[in-house]
Chains A and B, each alone.
Chain A
Amino acid sequence: MWDYTDKVMDHFRNPRNVGVVENPDGTGEVGNISCGDALKLTFKLDAEGRIADVKFQTFGCTSAIASSSVLTEMVKGMTLDDALKVTNQDIARELGGLPEEKMHCSVMGMEALQAAIADCRGESLEPEDDDDHEGRVVCHCFGVTDNKIRKLALENKLTKAEDIRNYSKAGGGGGCCLDEIQEILDGVWREKKESPEESVQDAFLSLPIIQRVIRIQEVIDREIVPMLERDGGSVEFLDLNDKVIKVRLKGRCASCPSASVTLRHTVEGKIKELLSPELTVESVN
């Protein structure tokens, strides 16, 4: 018979915050069924980046359930930075102590929290990455480091600060660090001495349709339209049908005798270069 404190038993009998937060900002899953305990922690942040809602699902013994339950109470209202400082000792202390043999339950709570926070920040917890040490904090709102940004960029072939924001929330607070993030990204790809778009090519066709459309729109807006505008023309992206992009040439281009050359070389050439050689472009009038 384990010597559980009244607080452990209270949290076991009346667990707080059981379940899964809908559309969570962070999900941490640690342990597995063969180990005999597993914890899935989900939380949602408020506008200020504080843990507004947090829920747990635990497969495990009395103290695993109690550790998870008390953890949700402890971290609610915390910023992620503060939540990351919560140690397993804190969890055990909050419960009035755990049997020595059951301390792993509190460790599981801490790890799930860290994993959930890492998930929230788009971080990977892979320990083998040597660069994944502390690093310099770039985004102070979400505590994202330059190392983390580089890692994310390389692993996910991200070129723009907005991508980093989507992957890690860095810059998602006030947005004041987005320029700095972009500088880091530019440096990453300069160092790699390769165009990130080259490596994007293969991946392009496997993107979800909405992502492909967005990418095409971005390439047309940023790369192609400015070129055509120099000549008083423009192009409008209409549709994507499998690998066929439908556009409408506008302005001078629409009536230009060499419209087909423009279409083939300028528009399709840039699309093939930056997105995928598989793509073709057709003009619709």
Chain B
Amino acid sequence: MNKKNKVVYFDNNATTAVAPEVFEAMKPYLTEFYGNPSSMYYFGGRVGQALDKARAQIADLLGSSFIDPKGKHSEIIFTSCGTESDNTAILSALQTCPKRNKIIVSKVEHPAVLNVAKELERRNIKVGYIPVDSKGRIDLQRLEEMVDEDTALVSVMWANNEIGNIYPVQKIAEIAHNYGALFHTDAVQAVGKVPFSLDDMDIDMLSLSGHKLHAPKGVGVLYVKRGVRFRPFMVGGHQEKSRRGGTENVSGIVALGRACELAKANMEYENTVVKALRDRLEKGILERVPSTRANGDLEHRLPNTSSISFDFIEGEAILMMLDEFGICASSGSACTTGSLEPSHVLRSMGIPYTAAHGTVRFSLSCYNTEEEVDYVIDKIPAVIETLRKMSPYWNH
């Protein structure tokens, strides 16, 4: 393994480096300001103010301007991670619409949604799975046919973690609302990469996760639009206006606030410079390696993500060989490693098995450079050729 040389980190959809500014912002809340924000004395109250500031920073990135009578951006509820936010949203929708017994999700959701849906099926909740086409695009016509007066919630991700597709969440929200259903979106991959303006949209609930945008792991947010009925998932103290029990992860929340502030400032950079790096990487690989394809809706996807299928070889072996060069990427979803099946996203798209097993996801961030991109483009062809020479299916 490459231990002394540089690391080229192209796996930012898995997790990101904590930004130095973010680390600086959170440090005092790990050291001197350790008070409990719920405490009555000033020492705790100061910590509470830090939470409010973070809430405002996050709301600003999301385009949520609502302020409650106490002056707080109370559409923002802090959680421990994206998965908790997803679980909370789905279960809340079912609990607050007791006469409705059905949810609809896309087939390409993250396991944090998909496995909740499967678990609910075991509890006799009806689940509709919206199919996607070969580019991973959602079939809105099918959604129209599936959603009905029995549907409590439609949940479709804002952007897909594996292929980067951006979904028409506003349109989907409108369709859901036509039938009185709530709409939730897992925006874990989209937040910080594409601009949001939730004030102008009909999204009822939205999940995000700190560690995908240069904040540390262990902090997430569930956005719940004002007026949307809500039932807590984590029951306990009065934190988050009794909508999420448990003492707040103060340093994580402060970090997330600062990360959102940075993300907003970097939005232009992400969608120009990072996008250009991604395009350079993708073009470079496709030009140099035969029998290779880019997956997804290439015109409507995150600026940082490229999913490339290398025919006739297996993804884990590719990753291990790239690792020899210090290159970090991912094969399908990191959550699906250990399973023997190729990614559910690629299978839903009908990507042939010859390609699905050999799919690598490269996901960049603002910390990546053109030099790194060229380094990867330089190393990839030999890696692929080495493995193909070993493959019984490669006949060239």
A210 within 8 A of B: no
Q: Across the interface, do B389 and A18 meet the contact criterion of CB distance under 8 Å?
A: yes
**Residues in B neighbouring A39, C-beta threshold 8 A:** 392
B317 within 8 A of A: yes
A36 within 8 A of B: yes
Give the distance in Å from the alpha carbon of A40 to the alpha carbon of B392 in the complex.
Answer: 6
Q: Nearest A residue to B339 by beta-carbon distance?
A: A101
Q: Across the interface, do B314 and A64 meet the contact criterion of CB distance under 8 Å?
A: yes
A283 within 8 A of B: no
A260 within 8 A of B: no
Mark interface residues in A46-71 (1 if CB within 8 Å of B CB, else 0).
00000000001111111011000000
> Which of B376-396 touch A at CB < 8 Å?
389-393
Q: Across the interface, do B317 and A57 meet the contact criterion of CB distance under 8 Å?
A: no
Chain A, interface SS category: mixed
Q: Nearest B residue to A19 by beta-carbon distance?
A: B389
Q: Across the interface, do A62 and B391 meet the contact criterion of CB distance under 8 Å?
A: no
**Residues in A neighbouring B320, C-beta threshold 8 A:** 9, 12, 61-62
Q: Across the interface, do A59 and B313 meet the contact criterion of CB distance under 8 Å?
A: yes
Binds B, one of A27-35, A129-137, A191-199: A27-35
Q: Across the interface, do A57 and B390 meet the contact criterion of CB distance under 8 Å?
A: yes
> Which of B333-391 touch A at CB < 8 Å?
338, 340-342, 353-354, 357, 389-391
B312 within 8 A of A: yes
Decide yes or no: A58 and B392 within 8 Å by CB, A12-B320, A36-B357, A64-B314 being known contacts: yes
**Residues in A neighbouring B393, C-beta threshold 8 A:** 33, 38, 59
User: Count of chain B residues with Cβ under 8 Å from any Cβ of A?
Assistant: 21
**Residues in A neighbouring B354, C-beta threshold 8 A:** 33
A13 within 8 A of B: yes
- Choose from B312, B316, B389, B392 the contact partner of A62 (Cβ within 8 Å): B316
Mark interface residues in B298-340 (1 if CB within 8 Å of A CB, else 0).
0000000000000011111100100010000000000000101
- A63 to B: closest C-beta gap in Å: 9
> Which of A97-116 touch B at CB < 8 Å?
101, 104
Decide yes or no: A38 and B392 within 8 Å by CB, A33-B354, A61-B317, A65-B317 being known contacts: yes
Give the distance in Å from the alpha carbon of A164 to the alpha carbon of B126 in the complex.
Answer: 61
- A16 to B: closest C-beta gap in Å: 11
Decide yes or no: A101 and B338 within 8 Å by CB, A33-B354, A61-B316, A62-B317 being known contacts: yes
Give the distance in Å from the alpha carbon of A61 to the alpha carbon of B332 in the complex.
Answer: 14
**Residues in A neighbouring B389, C-beta threshold 8 A:** 18-19
Decide yes or no: A60 and B353 within 8 Å by CB, A18-B390, A39-B392, A65-B390 being known contacts: no
* A-B residue pair count with CB separations less than 8 angstroms: 60
A37 within 8 A of B: yes
Give the distance in Å from the alpha carbon of A19 to the alpha carbon of B388 in the complex.
Answer: 11
Decide yes or no: A59 and B353 within 8 Å by CB, A13-B324, A36-B342, A65-B390 being known contacts: no
Q: Nearest A residue to B1 by beta-carbon distance?
A: A9
**Residues in A neighbouring B315, C-beta threshold 8 A:** 61
Centre residue among A13, A34, A36 by max chain B CB count within 10 A: A36
A143 within 8 A of B: no
A277 within 8 A of B: no
Give the distance in Å from the alpha carbon of A13 to the alpha carbon of B386 in the complex.
Answer: 10
- B82 to A: closest C-beta gap in Å: 22
Q: Across the interface, do B314 and A36 meet the contact criterion of CB distance under 8 Å?
A: yes
Give the distance in Å from the alpha carbon of A56 to the alpha carbon of B390 in the complex.
Answer: 7
**Residues in A neighbouring B317, C-beta threshold 8 A:** 12, 60-62, 64-65
Decide yes or no: A59 and B340 within 8 Å by CB, A13-B324, A18-B389, A36-B357 being known contacts: no
Centre residue among B313, B314, B315, B353 by max chain A CB count within 10 A: B314
Mark interface residues in A63-101 (1 if CB within 8 Å of B CB, else 0).
011000000000000000000000000000000000001
**Residues in A neighbouring B357, C-beta threshold 8 A:** 33, 36, 59
Q: Nearest B residue to A4 by beta-carbon distance?
A: B320
Q: Across the interface, do A37 and B353 meet the contact criterion of CB distance under 8 Å?
A: no
- Choose from B324, B353, B391 the contact partner of A34 (Cβ within 8 Å): B353
Give the distance in Å from the alpha carbon of A67 to the alpha carbon of B389 in the complex.
Answer: 17
A15 within 8 A of B: yes
Give the distance in Å from the alpha carbon of A221 to the alpha carbon of B315 in the complex.
Answer: 60
Give the distance in Å from the alpha carbon of A25 to the alpha carbon of B341 in the complex.
Answer: 34
Give the distance in Å from the alpha carbon of A13 to the alpha carbon of B338 in the complex.
Answer: 21
**Residues in B neighbouring A15, C-beta threshold 8 A:** 390
Mark interface residues in A9-24 (1 if CB within 8 Å of B CB, else 0).
1001101001100000
Give the distance in Å from the alpha carbon of A34 to the alpha carbon of B354 in the complex.
Answer: 7
Give the distance in Å from the alpha carbon of A61 to the alpha carbon of B339 in the complex.
Answer: 12
Centre residue among B314, B341, B389, B392 by max chain A CB count within 10 A: B392
**Residues in B neighbouring A2, C-beta threshold 8 A:** 316
- B154 to A: closest C-beta gap in Å: 32
Q: Across the interface, do A29 and B353 meet the contact criterion of CB distance under 8 Å?
A: no
Q: Across the interface, do A59 and B316 meet the contact criterion of CB distance under 8 Å?
A: no
- A68 to B: closest C-beta gap in Å: 8
Q: Across the interface, do B340 and A60 meet the contact criterion of CB distance under 8 Å?
A: no
Give the distance in Å from the alpha carbon of A224 to the alpha carbon of B199 in the complex.
Answer: 99
Q: Across the interface, do B312 and A59 meet the contact criterion of CB distance under 8 Å?
A: yes
- A279 to B: closest C-beta gap in Å: 41
Give the distance in Å from the alpha carbon of A59 to the alpha carbon of B313 in the complex.
Answer: 6
**Residues in A neighbouring B316, C-beta threshold 8 A:** 2, 61-62
- B180 to A: closest C-beta gap in Å: 42
In order of increasing CB-CB distance, the 8 nearest A-B pairs are A57-B392, A61-B316, A40-B392, A34-B353, A59-B391, A62-B320, A36-B357, A60-B314
Binding site for A on B (CB under 8 A): 1, 312-317, 320, 324, 338, 340-342, 353-354, 357, 389-393
Given contacts A33-B312, A39-B392, 13 further A-B contacts (CB under 8 A): A2-B316, A12-B320, A34-B353, A36-B314, A56-B390, A58-B390, A59-B312, A59-B390, A61-B315, A62-B316, A62-B320, A64-B317, A101-B338
9 pairs across A/B with beta carbons < 8 Å?
A13-B324, A19-B389, A39-B392, A57-B392, A59-B392, A60-B314, A60-B317, A61-B315, A62-B317
